[in-house]
Amino acid sequence: MTTTVGESFVTKIRQLDKKGSGQAVVWHENEQGNQKKLRLTVPQTLPGEKVRVSVDKPERRRRKAIVEEIIEAHPERIGPACPHFDLCGGCVWQHWQYNGQLQEKTRFVKETIVAQGFDPNLVQDTIGMENPWHYRNKMEFTFAPDGALGLHEQGNFRKIISLETCLIAGQKMVEATMEVARWAKDHDLSGYNKDAHEGLLRHLMVRESFATGEIMLALFATEAPEENLKEVATDLVKRIESKFPEVKSLLWLENRDWADRTQAEKTHILLGRDFIYDELSGFRYRLWFDTFFQTNPTQAQKLVDLAIEMGQPTEQEKMIDLFCGVGTFSLPFAERVKELSGIEIVETSIESAKRNANDNGITNTHFLAKDARHGIDEVLQSFGRPELLLLDPPRSGAGGKVMRKIGRAQPERIVYVSCNPETFATDITQLVPFGYTLQKVQPVDLFPHTVHVECVALLIKNDTIE
């Protein structure tokens, strides 16, 4: 463990915070000789562990501590598999046996619904992965000002950790990423300096379809690949074309905006097309660089299967898919219901949903580009009351106004797919006054070695319960 200058304490880890770090409390004497309580955040520790920590500037009541020694280790503590774990912010729990991670996620989901007055026994054990490595089909890497390519340091978005590997990304993605890193280094290309707002290379987004094998490399830069950069871009194409035939989309995206986001003002296709094909639930989807699609295809399939199992769609029923995106849930449900209407505020996603439905021969769908609150009103007016409603909102949740709209629409069954158990638990309280009962909550681990957990839940209108 790393030792740092500061006051040293021996303490016990009480619990984990929402970011996966240990929480501890110690008492220390201030300059006036008074005993003061100091609350510590201790990364890479586990509940119940006894540790010696170092704290810089302990006069502040809340401090981040550095572990000097694990005195009494948790029985499920293991050595992290990745050489970058101590610094990289991509994972927080590689030091914890996978089964322990799953149990913690189940505990967290139960805690969140209990806080809103629901029965914890409705929460099932979290469904994990048989192999919780190399599961991500999309990664966003960042260039440091010196041109090195990597991920942000834990808790420090100003520092980039140069990577030799990444154990949560698809293996081919990692290999292609390392080739781009070598290309940038060989040409001595600068990375973007966020403070000075200067430099060439900003981000590299990598997507891989585990179903089709196709890969997309999207390079974000502050200049176009022309004039003095033409030869540099040509060399990148040659390297990728010769070593990675799986790359069906190599993009150079101009981004001169000060905001540190993977956005583009202009797209240059260096190789192939501007999208790749992916598949889920037997349906084919087109993915562009800015398309939202589940990043763990193995577990995403389980989400879809669970949603169908809970929703029990029938061919006589109408259904609304709220926050439908590009149709990840819409298409599998559409082939099981009479009619489906999808609502999504992002217009490009709606265009993709329409195209995906057409590509897959689905003809009973209607997609509307509108915010959820107003979109429900419009769909209900033209579509009528649905028997089934599915929603898959962003991390911020659907919100009270949308949930009350759903309650007033009175669908017989509601399937809620959530990427944030806290906003999910708050949202569903809004349905209780409208006569809905929570039947089941199934957590699914889409992001092993991180704190994140998804849930699929079923709520049923009381007068339909047998």
Q: Say how far apart CA 158 and CA 145 lie, in whole Å.
A: 10
Would you say 413 and 458 are in contact if contact means Cβ atoms under 8 Å apart? Answer: yes
What's the chain's length in residues?
466
Torsional sign, CA 137, 143, 147, 150: negative
Q: Is 13 helix (H, G, I), strand (E, B) or coil?
A: coil
Residue 332 has phi, psi (to 5 degrees) of -60, -35
Q: Say how far apart CA 150 and CA 142 lie, in whole Å.
A: 5
Question: Any alpha helices (H) in 133-206, and if so which ranges?
Answer: 171-186
CA angle centred on 251, ends 250 and 254, rounded to 5°? 160
Q: Say how far apart CA 461 and CA 197 lie, in whole Å.
A: 54
CA angle centred on 143, ends 140 and 145, rounded to 5°? 155
**416 φ/ψ sector (left φ>0, alpha ψ -120 to 50, else beta):** beta
Torsional sign, CA 453, 424, 422, 438: negative
Q: Residue 22 half-sphere exposure, CB side, CA atoms within 13 Å?
A: 26
Q: Say how far apart CA 26 and CA 41 lie, in whole Å.
A: 11
- Taking Cα atoms as reference points, which of 378, 436, 432 lies closest to residue 411? 436
Please tell me which residue in 88, 166, 419, 455 is annotated as part of the active site. Answer: 419
Q: Say how far apart CA 183 and CA 233 lie, in whole Å.
A: 10
Q: Say how far apart CA 1 and CA 85 lie, in whole Å.
A: 13
Is residue 88 among the annotated active site residues? no
Residue type, 451: V
Torsional sign, CA 173, 178, 181, 183: negative
Question: Any alpha helices (H) in 187-296, and if so which ranges?
Answer: 230-243
CA angle centred on 70, ends 68 and 71, rounded to 5°? 115
Can you read off the two tokens belonging to residue 420?
């944030």
Would you say 353 and 327 are in contact if contact means Cβ atoms under 8 Å apart? Answer: yes
Would you say 450 and 442 are in contact if contact means Cβ atoms under 8 Å apart? Answer: no
Can you read off the two tokens belonging to residue 333?
């449900």
Can you read off the two tokens belonging to residue 458?
């079923």
For the chain, how big is the Rg over CA atoms in Å?
24
The residues annotated with a catalytic role in the active site are: 419
